[in-house]
């Protein structure tokens, strides 16, 4: 889920409703002054208060016939809240949702089909990792908003001391060689917890595999394919070059706290996590750098899970045309560049990557985002994440279990979970 990906990041806390402050009585669309009110739900921490205020002011100046009323929502419990809103008659006009949530809401019939607007929204240039999960059964319901993905956060001083040029690490084998060199004495070459399944996904995708494959309405777990097993084998090699726990994920203990202790050369995280590391250990200020997760070959960066958000318009929206106008602006070139600079996000289009060229962390993310992927695009994937047999599988292999047998068991669990309601 997106909120997991952005946890501990550099985003600022959004204050409250920072629009033109219309009252709840104008939620039907008439603001009382002849303008149409567009009700917008944005998620906590997705943008800063300053950016939100700037956008609302700029949008209303460009479209004086529309009033933008923004409400900030919490990630906790948002799925149920959106489901209820989509089923009712008072849904907001625009909702920000995590990119992997779109299929769940589209399958209920509660979202407006925006396929006919892809051309004017420059859909041919959207990041694959946002665009694909924004579609359902061949139709586009989610419009890519922004992206964030993991990079290698590393200690530049430890790399220099070991004589390693981070910029020269372009392949997975070069990465293993460098990490092995760093993994000496009290220093961990990399801190990689055993259940960081998003990272495993990247290695599996690099090999041509996936978590599951679909045929019609039926899905089948695919961790036991040769491609997926090769991805797990690489994860195991990398994980062994540090002291990461084999039975927990990046939150237990928090990666930032572990790196702040000063004995870790690398972690896999969004760039914003570097701020949390420095907050815990100010002596590391100026000693953290970023590079894209390497791929199998030098010409292609490693595949990464693209987290982020899409914007959707409920089928029950009172003012869908005005809602689409707002979506066009917020996902268009001007505001995408401003958002990327304000929040260190990756813009929604590959052609806009240059907007973050001067931000080391965001530019490293942008390289990886070009090869970004998402989890299987089906409502059934939510059941897999809730149960998460992938984590149990990873731990079982890392503690010495037979990879093929454990993968077959996990694949069966994935198949069962994904098809439970079919």
Q: How many CB atoms lie within 10 A of CB 245?
A: 17
Longest Cα separation, the chain:
71
pLDDT given for residue 33 in this prediction: 74
**Using CA atoms, how far apart are residues 5 and 306, in angstroms rounded to an integer?**
9
pLDDT tens across 345-383, in order? 889 999 998 888 899 999 999 899 888 888 998 888 888
- Whether 2 shows a pLDDT value over 50: the answer reads no
pTM listed for this prediction: 0.79
Using DSSP's 3-state secondary structure scheme, residue 80 falls into helix
Percent of the chain with pLDDT over 70: 92
**Using CA atoms, how far apart are residues 55 and 19, in angstroms rounded to an integer?**
9
Using DSSP's 3-state secondary structure scheme, residue 307 falls into strand
**Degrees to nearest 5, angle at CA 168 with 166 and 172:** 90
Spatial CA neighbour of 148 closest among 352, 379, 347:
347
- Whether 242 shows a pLDDT value over 90: the answer reads yes
8 Å CB contact between 129 and 99: yes
Average confidence (pLDDT) over 139-159: 96
Torsions phi, psi of 290, nearest 5?
A: -140, 140
DSSP 223-290: TTSHHHHHHHHHHHHHHTTS---TT--TBTTBHHHHHHTS-BSEEEE-TTHHHHHHHH-GGGTT-EEE
- Whether 20 shows a pLDDT value over 70: the answer reads no
**Using CA atoms, how far apart are residues 258 and 243, in angstroms rounded to an integer?**
11
Q: Phi/psi zone of residue 55: left (φ > 0), alpha (ψ -120 to 50 degrees), beta?
A: alpha
**Using CA atoms, how far apart are residues 96 and 28, in angstroms rounded to an integer?**
19
**Using CA atoms, how far apart are residues 307 and 305, in angstroms rounded to an integer?**
6
DSSP state for residue 126 in the 8-state scheme? B
**Which of 25-29, 77-81, 183-187, 405-409 is least confident?**
25-29
pLDDT given for residue 219 in this prediction: 94
Q: For the chain, first and last CA: distance in Å?
A: 22
pLDDT tens across 169-226, in order? 999 999 999 999 999 999 999 999 999 999 999 999 999 999 999 987 899 999 999 9
Strand-strand pairing, 36-43 and 94-98:
parallel
**Does the bond joining 253 to the residue before it have cis omega, within 30 degrees of 0?**
yes
Mean predicted lDDT score pLDDT of the chain: 89
**Using CA atoms, how far apart are residues 3 and 96, in angstroms rounded to an integer?**
12
**Using CA atoms, how far apart are residues 111 and 312, in angstroms rounded to an integer?**
7
- Whether 49 shows a pLDDT value over 90: the answer reads no
**Degrees to nearest 5, angle at CA 400 with 399 and 401:** 105
Return the H-helix or E-strand segment holding 311.
strand 307-312
**Using CA atoms, how far apart are residues 205 and 291, in angstroms rounded to an integer?**
19
Spatial CA neighbour of 204 closest among 225, 180, 179, 220:
225
**Using CA atoms, how far apart are residues 39 and 47, in angstroms rounded to an integer?**
17
**Which of 178-192, 257-271, 280-294, 349-363 is least confident?**
349-363
Return the H-helix or E-strand segment holding 153.
strand 151-155
Copy the structure tokens of residue 377: 């695009």
- Whether 252 shows a pLDDT value over 60: the answer reads yes
């Amino acid at each position: 889920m997106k909120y997991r990906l952005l946890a501990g990041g550099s985003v600022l806390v959004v204050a409250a409703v920072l629009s033109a402050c219309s009252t709840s009585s104008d939620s039907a669309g008439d603001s009382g002054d002849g303008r149409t009110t567009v009700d917008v739900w944005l998620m906590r921490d997705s943008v800063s208060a300053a950016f939100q205020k700037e956008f609302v002011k700029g949008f209303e100046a460009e479209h004086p016939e529309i009033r933008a009323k923004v409400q900030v929502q919490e990630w906790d419990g948002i799925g149920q809240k959106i489901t209820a809103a989509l089923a009712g008659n008072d849904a907001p006009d625009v909702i920000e949702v995590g990119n992997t949530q779109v299929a769940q809401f589209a399958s209920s019939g509660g979202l407006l089909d925006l396929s006919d607007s892809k051309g004017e929204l420059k859909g041919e240039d959207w990041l694959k990792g946002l665009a694909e999960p924004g579609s359902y059964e061949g139709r586009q319901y989610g419009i890519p908003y922004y992206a964030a993905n993991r990079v290698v956060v590393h200690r530049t001083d430890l790399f220099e001391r070991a004589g390693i040029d981070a910029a020269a690490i372009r392949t997975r084998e070069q990465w293993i060689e460098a990490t092995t060199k760093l993994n000496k004495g009290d220093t961990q070459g990399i801190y990689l917890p055993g259940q960081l399944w998003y990272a495993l996904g990247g290695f599996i995708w690099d090999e041509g595999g996936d978590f599951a494959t679909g045929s019609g309405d039926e899905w089948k777990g695919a961790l036991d394919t040769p491609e997926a097993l090769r991805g797990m084998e690489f994860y195991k090699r990398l994980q062994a070059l540090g002291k990461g726990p084999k039975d927990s994920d990046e939150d237990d203990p928090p990666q930032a706290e572990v790196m702040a202790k000063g004995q870790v050369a690398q972690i896999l995280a969004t760039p914003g996590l570097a701020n949390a590391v420095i907050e815990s250990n100010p002596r590391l200020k100026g000693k953290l750098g970023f590079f894209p997760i390497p791929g199998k070959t030098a010409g292609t960066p490693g595949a990464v899970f693209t987290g982020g958000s899409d914007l959707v318009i409920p089928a029950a929206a009172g003012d869908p045309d005005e809602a689409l106008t707002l979506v066009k602006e917020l996902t268009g070139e001007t505001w995408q560049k401003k958002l990327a600079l304000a929040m260190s996000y990756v813009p929604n289009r590959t052609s806009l990557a240059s907007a973050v060229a001067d931000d080391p962390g965001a530019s490293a993310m942008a390289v990886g985002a070009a090869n970004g992927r998402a989890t299987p695009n089906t409502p059934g994937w939510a059941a897999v994440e809730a149960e998460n047999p992938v984590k149990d599988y990873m731990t079982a292999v890392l503690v010495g279990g037979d990879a093929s047998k454990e993968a077959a068991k996990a694949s069966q669990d994935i198949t069962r979970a994904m098809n439970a309601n079919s």
